[in-house]
Amino acid sequence: MQLAQIQTIPEIMNVLKVLSTGFLAFLLAFAITPLWTHLLYKYKMGIKIKETDVNGEKLTFVNKLHANKAGTPTMGGVIIWVSILLLALASHFIFPWIAKVTDTHFIARLDFFSRSQVWLPLFALIFAGTLGFFDDIMSVKGWGSNKGGGMRFAMRFGWLVIMAVAGAWWFYYKLGWDRLHIPAVGDFDIGLWYVPLFVFIILFTAISSNETDGLDGLNGGVLLMAFSSFAVIAFMQNKIDLSAFCCATAGATLAFLWFNIPPARFFMGDTGAVSLGATLGVVAMLTNSAIVLFMIVFVYILESSSAAIQLASKKLFKKKVFLAAPFHHHLEAKGWPESKIVMRTWIFTMIVSLLGVIIAIFGMGKFHQ
């Protein structure tokens, strides 16, 4: 089949658009990594090893295991969201010009900067990424009112709530979204309850992503599979630009993982973990896949619930349920090597992601939104 013939088949062109966007995002993120890494090391943006977990428990045993990571730069997540932003803008403003000059129409097709599908998740990515960026700087420099530096949790949480409420308002009042899709069952009109559901989803994914980002490659692998899954789900809903955005996010995350696998060259930081988590939540709501989301990122449920259970048990019964929290620290305290925890988490996430995609596709029925 000749190229000219291929370009007349919309389905094939859409697949090529999505995959090409992911590949370009990988190349762009990979290309800017050396420069960003150089800046991080030059200005000594290294982390300090945490002395306590999310519940205030001393991490004496875990600290010994992570002692060699002290000084490793954070804010590697900047590579991901900056690459996605640059590629989105280039696809809309530069690619059409290149296509015209070179008479290559396919390049113009790579534009995925659509208002209806991409602006909202891109806004969440940049907003939360910027918030996390300043929090990371404050943590490294020891600035701020938080112990050891950084924003207080209440301040970070407050800004995330503002973003989530703004997004919920836009979805409900501007776009008229008020339905929850349950795979294989159908759509249910939940009315104003859509707003708190939206807010909960964004806060859950943003905070849980940050809690999971505690081992080299752990959260990066989970996010890679999650965004790849939603690229497929969005594609099956004919949301091609959103699918391309998800694939671009997966591609940039893959480039990040190249340098983040043990021993990590740098860490994701709040600027990556919180922003990608929040963006994942927005994508889930855009595809009306809130139920499937919890299956795909089931690891997030384990991490967040372990921290919540640990905190509640300490407050109510003065006893610990886990050796440390979140759950990946518990496994470390049990003697699991870091690589074993990361690899098995990846495998588990791969399985539940595949299952989630299958359920999402076969459970669509007469999906409309």
Terminal-to-terminal C-alpha distance of the chain: 36
Say how far apart CA 15 and CA 366 lie, in whole Å.
22
Structure-token pair, residue 169: 């308002």
* pLDDT for the residue numbered 366: 44
* pLDDT for the residue numbered 10: 73
User: Which alpha helices (H) appear in the chain, and where do they start and end?
Assistant: 3-6, 10-42, 60-66, 77-93, 95-102, 105-109, 119-141, 153-169, 194-212, 218-236, 240-260, 270-286, 290-296, 298-317, 327-333, 338-362
pTM over the 0.85 mark:
yes
Count other C-beta atoms under 10 Å from residue 112's C-beta: 25
Cα torsion angle, 260, 160, 207, 172, sign: negative
Are 247 and 18 in contact by the 8 Å Cβ rule? The answer is yes
* pLDDT for the residue numbered 368: 44
Among 212, 193, 185, which residue's Cα sits nearest to residue 291? 185
* pLDDT for the residue numbered 87: 98
Say how far apart CA 83 and CA 283 lie, in whole Å.
18
The contacts of residue 335 (CB under 8 Å, 6+ apart) are none
Structure-token pair, residue 326: 């979140």
Per-residue pLDDT tens, the chain, 369 aa: give them.
544 444 556 788 999 999 999 999 999 999 999 999 999 999 888 877 666 555 555 656 666 667 677 789 999 999 999 999 999 999 999 999 999 999 888 899 999 999 999 999 999 999 999 999 999 999 998 887 777 678 888 999 999 999 999 999 999 999 999 999 999 898 999 999 999 999 999 999 999 999 999 899 999 999 999 999 999 999 999 999 999 999 999 999 999 999 998 889 999 999 999 999 999 999 999 999 999 999 999 999 999 999 999 999 999 988 999 988 899 999 998 999 999 999 999 999 999 999 999 999 988 764 444
Say how far apart CA 210 and CA 278 lie, in whole Å.
10
- 189 forms beta bridges with 179
In a 13 Å sphere around the CA of 227, the CA atoms on its Cβ side amount to 30
**Residue 229 amino acid letter:** S
**Cis peptide bond prior to 263, omega within 30° of 0:** yes
Give the CA radius of gyration of the chain.
21
Q: Which one-letter DSSP state was computed for residue 186? A: E
